[in-house]
Amino acid sequence: MLTTIVVLSAILSAASASASTTSLSFTGLQSLVERRIPQHASSFNFDIINGTGDSFTVSDSSSEAGGINISCTTLSACARGLYTYCTEVGNVDIWWTGSRLHEIATPLPKVGAPIHGSSIVPWRYHFNTVTFGYTTAFWSFDKWELLLDWLALRGVNLPLAWVGYEKILIDVFHEVGLTDDEIFDFLSGPAFLPWNRFGNIQSSWGGSLPMQWVTDQFNLQKNQILPRMLELGITPILPAFTGFVPRAMTTHFPNASIVNGSQWTGFPTELTNDTFLEPFDPLFAQMQKSFILKQQAAYGNITHFYTLDQYNENNPFSGNLTYLSSIGSGTIASLRQADPDATWVLQSWLFFQGEDFWSLERIQAYLGSVPNDAMLILDLYAEAYPQWSRTNSYFGKPWVWCQLHDYGGNFGMEGNLHEITHGPVDALHVENGSMVGMGLTMEGQELGNEVVYDALLDQAWSEEPMDILKYVKKRAARRYTVESLPPAVNRAWEILGSTIYNNSDPTTQVTTRSVVEMSPGMGLSDSIFFIGINFTRVPYDTNTTIVPAIHLLLNASETTPSLGNNPEFVFDVTEVSRQLLANRFLDKYNDLIAVWNSTSTTSADILTLGSSMVAILEDLDALLYTNENYLFSTWIADAKQWGKGNASYESYLEYQARNQITLWGPTAGLIDDYAGKQWAGLVGEYYLKRWETRKWGEEEGEIWGTRGDVWQIVKRIVTLWT
């Protein structure tokens, strides 16, 4: 009990200490107001007050000039105070699809009775290492800016910051004598760096990583991302030296303790079995120190948090308890001799995905060798398969309750609002528990399910579990910003909130992968890709969820035509229609398989079903083309922008972008379509062509399609498929 309290207070004081070093300047928040609500740039007054934790008070200023006063104990709390004013009083919000904060009324609405808020946890966390591949790989700063404002306003104060990692890593490799050839033989391409950082893969396909990429990413991190995080009251979690090294390390250091990691996802040995310098070797400590000092020199001493995963989908060389313990103690010793206040941040995914290896005694040997106050564990998939409960709160280590939710940036509508509102609150009150944060660890930030990400970050500021039906309706009111929201909209959200977004069955808690995105074949509706979960199962009845929701939203658009001008309303109608088509495609697929298997099948039966499937995909593609958020061409353009007009570099980047979402590797057959997307162009030109094999070889269609009228297309879909 005593140890727990000491550790928690250390972590709590770390939270306020980090704030006080960056605090007292509201320049970053004032700039945010100028960016997002320029017409009221001078109307918000911020002020730091004494107090523990993160709390704020929002009130009307009684000064002559009027305006809004926001007092807070930390910068992050002030950002949350500003957000609370915008959402609760101003009825506007900032979304992954864009900021609508500038739509707040003039004059600014009065607060009335002051509003107080406090976070229930010191840390609000964001990102999964792989989000830097599936979502942000090719982002320029304008996209980062929107997300960083989104994070700051929602009160996130501890995100990962992986961008540009390779620059310093390469410097450290040079320092120990590795050549460029040896180093670049190890690094992966821009779309695949997260798995190289995890030690899952090495080397590249389609050409080696250009130094231009490394430099551009480093500059993005150093000049834009990190300064912006700091001015918004956000403490970045920076990378460290992980121990994964080029193969040639063994030739340069024949006596060093170097082993090969395990094979990942069936990749051939030259692309996986990454070479690992063991942390108890003095060379590891030397490289760690060099890495951290170089990083401090580049970015300043801006954090004590370091992300470091050695065994993510990569089993240790030995299960010997002494061995595991020496890995843990060597790693933390290396971090602390470089930064005496270092906290090692670990994703706990290994204990779920590698459960066969990670017995409790092995977990205890590995974690137990690290002092409790030197570690922060991300319980990665807490909404479905929490690990803190089987490890007795990681034997006392501070940990963060995280929602994983999305795999590969897949699209299916899905959520577990009940668990994400109750689970963290319950875990916080467990006797002798050590939970210190809440956060989001999605593999890909998929726009259509934003509601479940909003909900967890809002729950971090509420002592009691939120009432989910009230929550989704209140959210709809500020999402659709019309004078008076038609009751049909509330009804639609009540249905979604109590069904699709309230799925409490852990075995289906993943964003559904539609068979649309899969290579045609038998048995697709029973697809278990990994972790024993059926990714293609639709765990709800479309006819009593999606169908009434779409009718209600269409009805609302008719009674309140101004809804048609609201980008988030149009997006949501498109999203629900997209899901309807994906589910109908699965129905038709199942019918086709059943017919195919039947002894009385005729070719006419097959053709009828096949034509329906083709028709659905044609409609799906046309639907997606109506909305800028669903364009495949955006992913490609984002990748190519870094080529800055150099044609061969652009085509390398385009290959990277296309490869990740399709073959995911140099050859087909391993994890094809893992990161599949229902994007306009990709559906019509790739998935449709694959399904429509009889048309293979015919002339290719337009790559970049044309934009139709969303209402015309949705009405056709509703007529045909509801």
Ligand X SMILES: *[C@@H]1O[C@H](CO)[C@@H](O)[C@H](O)[C@H]1NC(C)=O
The residues binding ligand X (CB under 6 A) are: 1, 45, 47, 50, 61-63, 69, 71, 250, 254-255, 258-260, 262-263, 269, 273, 296-297, 300-301, 320, 322-323, 339, 418, 431-432, 468-469, 498, 502, 504, 522, 525-526, 534, 537, 541, 543, 593-594, 597
Smaller CB distance to ligand X: residue 63 or 603? 63
End-to-end CA distance of the chain: 57
Nearest CA to 158 among 334, 328, 51, 307?
Answer: 307
Are the CB atoms for 259 and 268 separated by under 8 Å?
Answer: no
Count CB neighbours of 110 within 10 A: 10
Q: CB of 210: closest distance to ligand X in angstroms?
A: 25
**What 3-state DSSP class applies to 644?**
coil
The distance of closest approach from Cβ of residue 281 to ligand X in the complex, given in angstroms and rounded to an integer, is 12
> Cβ 646 to ligand X, closest distance in Å?
34
How would you list the strands of the sheet with 435-440, edge to edge?
158-159, 123-126, 435-440, 399-403, 375-379, 343-347, 305-307, 238-239
Q: Which is nearer to ligand X, 151 or 248 (CB)?
A: 248
Of the pair 131, 202, the CB lying nearest ligand X is at 202
Give the C-alpha separation, 345 to 378, whole Å: 7
CA 389/CA 220 separation, integer angstroms: 39
Give least dist CB 150 to ligand X, A.
Answer: 24
Instruction: Return d(Cα 555, Cα 374) in angstroms, integer.
Output: 55
Residue closer to ligand X by CB (options 269, 484) is: 269
Give the nearer residue to ligand X in terms of CB position, either 62 or 484.
62
Q: Smaller CB distance to ligand X: residue 177 or 300?
A: 300
C-beta of 253 vs 711, nearer to ligand X? 253
Shortest distance, position 139 Cβ to ligand X, whole Å? 27
Give CA–CA dist 437/424, Å, rounded: 9
Nearest-CA neighbor of 277 among 199, 333, 337? 199
3-class SS letters over 17-69: HHHHHHCCCCHHHHHHHHHHCHHHCCCEEEEECCCCCCEEEEEECCCCCCCEE
**Is the CB of 689 or the CB of 716 nearer to ligand X?**
716
In whole angstroms, what is the distance from residue 170 CA to residue 152 CA?
A: 31
Q: Which is nearer to ligand X, 96 or 306 (CB)?
A: 306
Residue 18 C-beta: closest distance to ligand X, Å: 14
**Nearest 5°: CA angle at 605, between 604 and 610?**
95
The smaller minimum CB distance to ligand X, of residues 581 and 657, is found at 581
Q: How far is the CB of 98 from ligand X (least distance, A)?
A: 29
Give me the least distance between CB of 118 and ligand X, in Å please: 18
Place of tokens 């019309």: 482
| Minimum distance from residue 368 beta carbon to ligand X (Å) | 15
The SS3 call for residue 334 is helix
Of 120, 35, 18, 122, the C-alpha closest to 82 is 35
Radius of gyration of the chain (CA): 26
Minimum CB distance to ligand X, residue 192 (Å): 19
> Which CB atom, from 213 or from 674, has the smaller least distance to ligand X?
674
Residue closer to ligand X by CB (options 525, 641) is: 525
Give least dist CB 470 to ligand X, A.
10
User: Token pair for residue 674?
Assistant: 């893992």
DSSP letter at 345 equals E
User: Residue 308: exposed, middle, or buried by beta-carbon count in 10 A (0-12, 13-18, 19+)?
Assistant: buried
Residue with tokens 């109307």: 43
Distance in Å, CB of 47 to ligand X, minimum:
3
- The whole-angstrom separation of Cα 353 and Cα 309 is 14
- Minimum distance between the CB of residue 201 and ligand X, rounded to whole angstroms? 12
Beta bridge partners of residue 260, listed in sequence order:
275
Cβ neighbours of residue 719 closer than 8 Å, sequence gap 6 or more: none
CB of 589 vs ligand X, minimal distance in Å = 10
Contact 259, 253 (CB under 8 A): no
Nearer to ligand X by Cβ, of 118 and 525: the residue is 525
Shortest CB 647 distance to ligand X, Å = 35
Q: How far is the CB of 301 from ligand X (least distance, A)?
A: 4
Burial (Cβ within 10 Å: 0-12, 13-18, ≥19) of residue 428 = middle
344/642 with CB nearer ligand X: 344
Strand order, beta sheet including 44-48: 44-48, 68-72, 55-60, 115-118
Pairing of strands 158-159, 123-126: parallel
Nearest CA among 317, 326, 330, 180 for reference residue 241? 330
Q: Which is nearer to ligand X, 210 or 423 (CB)?
A: 423
180 vs 526 by CB, closer to ligand X: 526
The pair of three-digit structure tokens given for residue 183, joined into one six-digit string: 């180093």
Q: Shortest approach of ligand X to residue 321 CB, angstroms? A: 7
Q: What is the DSSP string of 140-183?
A: -HHHHHHHHHHHHHHT--EEB--TTHHHHHHHHHHHTT--HHHH
- Note the residue count of the chain: 722
Strands 98-99 vs 115-118: parallel, antiparallel or unpaired: unpaired
Euclidean distance between CA atoms 685 and 285, whole angstroms: 51
Nearer to ligand X, 401 or 632 (CB): 401
